Amino acid sequence: MGAVDEALSSPYRRRFLQAGAAAGGGLLIGFALPGCNREDRKEPPPEKAVGQATTAVTQAPPGLAPNAFIRIDRAGQVTLIVHKVEMGQGTFTAMPMLIAEELEVDLSKVKLQQAPADNTLYADPMLGGQVTGGSTSVRASWKPLREAGATARTMLVSAAALSWQVDPSTCTARNGVVTHTATGRTMEYGQLVDAASKLPVPSGVKLKSASEFTVIGKPVKRLDSPDKVNGRAQFGLDVRLPNMMVATVAASPVPGGKLNPVDDAKAMAIKGVRQVLRIDNAVAVVGDHMWAARQGLTALAPTWNDGANSAMTTASIVADMSAASKEKSGVQARNDGDAPGTIGKATRKLEAVYEMPFLAHATMEPMNCTVDLKPDGCDIYTGTQVPALAQGAVAKITGLPLDKIRINNYYLGGGFGRRLEVDYVAQAVAFARQAKGPVKFVWTREEDIQHDMYRPYYLDRISASLDAKGMPQAWFHRITGSSIIARFAPGAMKDGVDPDAVEGAKDIAYAIPNVRVEYLRHEPPVPTAFWRGVGATHNVFVVESFIDELAHASRQDPLAYRRALLTKSARMRAVLELAATRAGWGTRLQPVAGRRVGRGISVQFAFGSYMAQVAEVSVGADGGVTVHRVVCALDCGQMVNPDTIGAQIESGVNFGLTAALWNEITFDKGRVQQSNFGDYRMMRINESPKIEVHMVKSADEPGGIGEPGTSAIAPALCNAVFAATGRRIRKLPIGDQLKA
Amino acid sequence: MPTLTINGVSRTLDVPDDMPLLWALRDVAGLTGTKFGCGVALCGACTVHVDGAPTRSCVTPVSAVAGKQVVTIEAIEQNPAGRRVQAAWREIDVVQCGYCQSGQIMSATALIASKPDPTDADIDGAMAGNICRCGTYPRIRAAIKIAAKKEA
């Protein structure tokens, strides 16, 4: 399990399950899904009734509260109430599959209802926090959802057996119906729910083995597709409330800057503008609609006191980082043998500096939050990966108790880590304290790109010594960059090491006798946050590029070189071989007229999944890179919905390619220099390669699929560029580095 | 006060003439299926049909569409090509986050309506203005080909 997973999902410490009568009739099963171990959470959650849904749960073990529920009503309809959010990754489809499998109901009978924000109800009260992130949704739900389904089924079968006065083992459950095999008598689940709800909760129900699965592992259509093709799906930006106004926002373009006085009259002169709201570092213009608000903000033309960071440039940030990483040692994340000593004495050694840029998330739906703040309560309408953190932020600003703050969560128009942050919610609520009625706060694309919380800039110094056969004897990797974990989940810092910043570096799978990995925390005044693929996206690029350098320096085939070093992991080797075979590694690439062609490979273990990729590229005389084909081999354990897995890998590859080819956020005079898709380029359909996903069949526990595609692609791409041109890309993005 | 025909219904909207159609649709007419992505016609999320032609509503003033037929995602199922595109989208599960897909479907429908059997180059030409951050492009391409083969 990766570092971010550890930070985002609590250890599955105790499994608890409760049952009782649902309000309004039916059977209610309450159980716990791991949430987030926000160990910085100070106060224990208030002791209080856990709400309408559970008041009837009678058999709760003391001190334990469920955070997910299955309700089966008298019509046999099954409702799963969970806190996970759908941001494109298919969770809303995969989770009902896990229930349907063990409950023995048709998948169409399982509806999913998103839980409101309430840490006391919907997350582990000892650890707190509702989080969707770290490719954890299916992994964290894998056992508890199936157990809950199996428990409900067992109780329904028992209820039927009791009414027939037969042994439950002589009954079977299929498709929402219990059958007494010998007599052929049947009862539907809906007829049994009330009787079942009075039975004791069985313990130790047996789960199906993989060979018995009828739902899991079969391709299933996404349940959110119909509403997403007809315009009915509601995203946060689509909220409309009675008497709602629309505002757009400008925040200080320089981190830490303050708003200078503004003349409201300039904005108020625009028809439809209703109000100007100001906070310390930002201003919002409220209007009847977005057009009035935008024109009002343009007319207002706010100015700023830039403060201490007014001279900040990317060059100054990188110079500081580079100097620090040269002069200082980092905290050791791993230290096997004597890597520095071995490299110091070696006759054959390589060293390199790799750099990765600040990156914006650029979700298609810009940041937005609708606030209806009243003296006695607050309604928030938004899309967030962390409803409970949003609730906490609102409480802090308004002073309202948590139970007076309702987070109404919507489909996310992309998450990618951006909506793990609640800055846009906090800002909207701060403005709303001055507003006269509900306001939808909408960031423009420019505001969204320039006020993101960015993937950190990383500067990595890496070196290795080679033996006479060209194999690495020592490996030294010093990572320098800001720490997201130290801010987001300080309790997850381990002896000064940010486990996310070293993920994919600390745990390299290659058999090298001397390894040291260091983490040097360096905080430029730029807000940073998780970005799809998190630590692995940074480190897999560095590790898989540098291992490629070693292979070439040793005049060995990059595939054979990796294979020789992967003596410890059969699953790593298996995906490597599968990707290579399917890509035709070692065969001649189809020539492309006027262009140099090349093939590159990468392999990783990240997010609980094994993945190898082979990229085929061509490079033109102008230095432009075209990616023709990406062959992926994936072992993600037991597949839940194979269709979603393929889609997520395709998505991850294109997301990673976009960044590796083109994306960087840069600063000048303290300001972000990019502003919209014109200078923060997104891949388009004509640039999307052919992507193949080949699966290794496995019955192991499911691994994550939302992020591996992203973390594996940059090194495969850059290794292919090297094969084509002999140019080693050590700094992302590729941009125009290959020109001339 | 421009009068527009939106999804076959004539409506007079109390908005300034220079207001982009996008905001008139979303904030005034209450049709939120058309999305805001960039505001400068770079991403295609706001694509609607104006007299059948795919049009970026974020840079189209309402005055420019007065007297014309505006069709949004909410009514695209009334278009035979639109129905085929939606069915193909569902058939191979194109959507992920879904935010850009209204615009993708509007562009794809216009393509199929004008070129019943589009080549890859036709697809690139018609769809390159629509960004999908989830990178669903392989499935968008496949779905357009499926839609083209479907019976109207």
Residues forming a β-bridge with A406: A379
Residue A726's CB: how many other CB atoms inside 10 A? 10
Q: Which residue shows structure tokens 């007829």?
A: A191
State which fold the B76-149 domain adopts: DNA polymerase; domain 1 (1.10.150)
Whether the CB of B61 is below 8 Å from some CB of chain A: the reply is: no
Closest Cα in chain B to A231: B33
| Predicted confidence (pLDDT) per residue in A576-607, tens digit | 999 999 999 999 999 999 999 999 999 999 99
In the predicted structure, residue A55 carries a pLDDT above the cut 70: no
Nearest to B136 among A224, A289, A651 (CB): A651
What's the pLDDT score for residue B25?
98
Mutation target for A interface from B31, B78, B85, B93: give the one with most A CBs within 10 A: B93
What's the pLDDT score for residue A44?
29
- pLDDT-derived band at A115 (thresholds 50, 70, 90) equals low
Closest Cα in chain A to B122: A686
What's the pLDDT score for residue A10?
36
Q: Give B-chain residues touching A653 at CB under 8 angstroms.
A: 135
In the predicted structure, residue A740 carries a pLDDT above the cut 80: no
Whether the CB of B74 is below 8 Å from some CB of chain A: the reply is: yes
Could you tell me if the ipTM is greater than 0.95? yes
Alpha carbon distance A84, A63 (integer Å): 23
Residue B67, Cβ density class (10 Å: 0-12 exposed, 13-18 middle, ≥19 buried): exposed
- Where do the DSSP E strands lie in A419-554? 439-442, 458-466, 472-481, 514-521
CB contact under 8 A, B134 and A686: no
Residues forming a β-bridge with A411: A235
Whether the CB of B28 is below 8 Å from some CB of chain A: the reply is: yes
Quick one: average pLDDT of A263-287? 98
In the predicted structure, residue A415 carries a pLDDT above the cut 70: yes
| Predicted confidence (pLDDT) per residue in B3-12, tens digit | 999 999 999 9
In the predicted structure, residue A124 carries a pLDDT above the cut 70: no
| Predicted confidence (pLDDT) per residue in A553-564, tens digit | 999 999 999 999
| Predicted confidence (pLDDT) per residue in A145-180, tens digit | 899 999 999 999 999 999 999 999 999 999 999 999
Q: Give B-chain residues touching A363 at CB under 8 angstroms.
A: 97, 99, 133
Least confident of A46-60, A389-403, A683-697, B109-123: A46-60
CA A606 to chain B, closest CA, distance in angstroms equals: 20
Alpha carbon distance A467, A620 (integer Å): 37
Nearest to B97 among A291, A412, A684 (CB): A412
Which CATH code is given to the segment(s) B3-73?
3.10.20.30
| Predicted confidence (pLDDT) per residue in A195-233, tens digit | 999 999 998 899 999 999 999 999 888 888 999 999 999
What's the pLDDT score for residue A18?
79
What DSSP string describes A568-603? S-HHHHHHHHHHHHHHTTTSPPPPBTTBEEEEEEEE
Mutation target for A interface from B73, B99, B101: give the one with most A CBs within 10 A: B99
Whether the Cβ atoms of residue B68 and residue A706 lie closer than 8 Å to each other: no
- Phi, psi at residue A483, to the nearest 5°? -105, 120
Nearest to B127 among A229, A272, A685 (CB): A685
Closest Cα in chain A to B33: A231
Alpha carbon distance A27, A75 (integer Å): 11
Single-letter residue type at B132: C
- pLDDT-derived band at A89 (thresholds 50, 70, 90) equals low
Quick one: average pLDDT of A446-459? 98
Q: Give A-chain residues touching B133 at CB under 8 angstroms.
A: 362-364, 414, 416, 655, 682
Q: Which long-range contacts (CB under 8 A, 24 or more apart) does A260-267 make?
A: A260/A302, A260/A303, A260/A304, A260/A305, A262/A300, A262/A302, A262/A303, A263/A300, A264/A300, A266/A299, A266/A300, A266/A301, A267/A296, A267/A297, A267/A299, A267/A300
Alpha carbon distance A708, A135 (integer Å): 9
Q: How far is CA A415 from CA A235, A462, A664, in A?
A: 12, 32, 19
CB contact under 8 A, B32 and A238: yes
Task: Establish whether the linkage from the previous residue to A689 is cis, with ω within 30° of 0.
Answer: no
The structure's pTM equals 0.90
In the predicted structure, residue A631 carries a pLDDT above the cut 90: yes
Contacts across the A-B interface (CB distance below 8 Å) = 181
Q: Give A-chain residues touching B93 at CB under 8 angstroms.
A: 221-222, 225, 643-644, 647
Whether the Cβ atoms of residue B45 and residue B102 lie closer than 8 Å to each other: yes
Nearest to B38 among A237, A272, A445 (CB): A445
CB contact under 8 A, B135 and A654: yes
- Phi, psi at residue A480, to the nearest 5°? -120, 130
Torsion of CA A47, A48, A52, A57, to 10 degrees: 50
In the predicted structure, residue A85 carries a pLDDT above the cut 70: no
Alpha carbon distance A249, A286 (integer Å): 9
Whether the CB of B1 is below 8 Å from some CB of chain A: the reply is: no
In the predicted structure, residue A43 carries a pLDDT above the cut 60: no
CB contact under 8 A, B128 and A678: no
CA B104 to chain A, closest CA, distance in angstroms equals: 9
CB contact under 8 A, A688 and B137: yes
In the predicted structure, residue A247 carries a pLDDT above the cut 80: yes
Alpha carbon distance B51, B114 (integer Å): 13
Whether the CB of B109 is below 8 Å from some CB of chain A: the reply is: no
CA A86 to chain B, closest CA, distance in angstroms equals: 7
Length of chain A: 740
Alpha carbon distance A31, A144 (integer Å): 7
Closest Cα in chain B to A293: B23
3-class secondary structure, B147: helix
Mean pLDDT for all residues in chain B: 96
CA B143 to chain A, closest CA, distance in angstroms equals: 12
CB contact under 8 A, B99 and A653: no
CB contact under 8 A, A685 and B140: yes
Tokens encoding A189 = 């689940």
Quick one: average pLDDT of A24-50? 50
CB contact under 8 A, A650 and B136: yes
Nearest alpha-carbon partner for A558 in A719, A380, A354: A719
Per-domain residue ranges of chain B: 3-73, 76-149
CB contact under 8 A, A682 and B40: no
Alpha carbon distance B57, B47 (integer Å): 6
Tokens encoding A168 = 């439950």
| Predicted confidence (pLDDT) per residue in B36-61, tens digit | 999 999 999 999 999 999 999 999 99
What's the pLDDT score for residue A69?
83
Alpha carbon distance A39, A25 (integer Å): 38
Mean pLDDT for all residues in chain A: 89
Nearest to B72 among A225, A231, A658 (CB): A231
Q: Give A-chain residues touching B79 at CB under 8 angstroms.
A: none
